[in-house]
Amino acid sequence: MTHLFPELMTKDHLAKDDMTMRIGEIIETGTTGFVAESLELNRPPALGSLVKVEVGDGACVYGVVSHGTTTGLDPGRRAVRRSTEEVRDEAIYDEHPELKHTLRTEFSVLLVGCVEDPVLVALGPLAQALGPVAQGHRGQRVQDKCGAIRQHLPAQPPPLHYSVHQCTEEEVRAFSERLYYLRLLLSAPGEVPSEQLLAAHVRQAYRQRGQDREWLERAARGIAALLKHDYEWLMTVLYAIEPG
């Protein structure tokens, strides 16, 4: 098997569109992340996908989906089997339409960035003159339609009951030009092991960037630097992000 990252497989190396799709509503929020209820039952956004919340005045926060669950509205009651020999899978929901009103799908999101300087959007090409703050890899401007993207925890968590939007391919490309936020994913606690969440995000971003191999190799080098003291974790991530 030919590996995409042969130089990282040894221990020696270790020293579209203006409208984004609304996918949920925040039902719990905090400094490091939030929980949202999905608008579609049984279909939380993909693990590792990038989402955003617009918080007003041109500002927004970005996060990575870190977990998803579907449970009953009453947390004290566990779901019971509904299938029969004749009725199973999707047909169960047709046979029991009340399930769509007694179940809910939730997803957790880790905050990884924000937009704090919406004035850049008015500057247009002049934002290039602002230097590295407004630029990404190889001098590419890093900003979405709100302004300059910063990759750190926002000063304030997003408000309760605000809408969660799936990021477009253009927004994913802009946000992931710089890779400082990967450290936040590795250090965050959660239901999913951090190395698996990191790998899931890299796979999602790679697909949404049009299978950008150069970006994937750059991400792999960044991950190798972050995990240079943990060979087993590094191997887990590199094998998980290697294209099939």
| pLDDT per position as a tens digit, 204-215 | 999 999 999 999
Which range is least confidently modeled, 8-22, 155-169, 173-187?
8-22
Residue 134 above 70 pLDDT? no
Question: Do the domain assignments include residue 211?
Answer: no
Question: Do the domain assignments include residue 101?
Answer: yes
Question: Do the domain assignments include residue 236?
Answer: no
What is 59-74 written as a DSSP string?
EEEEEEEEEEEEEESS
**225-236: average pLDDT:** 95
pLDDT-derived band at 127, boundaries 50, 70, 90? very low
Question: Do the domain assignments include residue 185?
Answer: no
Residue 62 above 70 pLDDT? yes
Q: Higher model confidence: residue 231 or residue 138?
A: 231
Question: Do the domain assignments include residue 227?
Answer: no
Say how many CA atoms lie within 13 Å of 244 toward its Cβ.
Answer: 2
Question: Do the domain assignments include residue 40?
Answer: yes
Question: H helices within the chain, ranges in order?
Answer: 90-95, 99-102, 120-123, 169-175, 182-187, 194-208, 213-226, 231-241
Question: Do the domain assignments include residue 229?
Answer: no
Q: Which residues pair with 230 in a beta bridge?
A: none
User: Domain limits at 95?
Assistant: 20-178
Question: Do the domain assignments include residue 43?
Answer: yes
Which range is least confidently modeled, 6-10, 96-100, 146-150, 215-219?
6-10
Q: What is the tally of structural domains in the chain?
A: 1
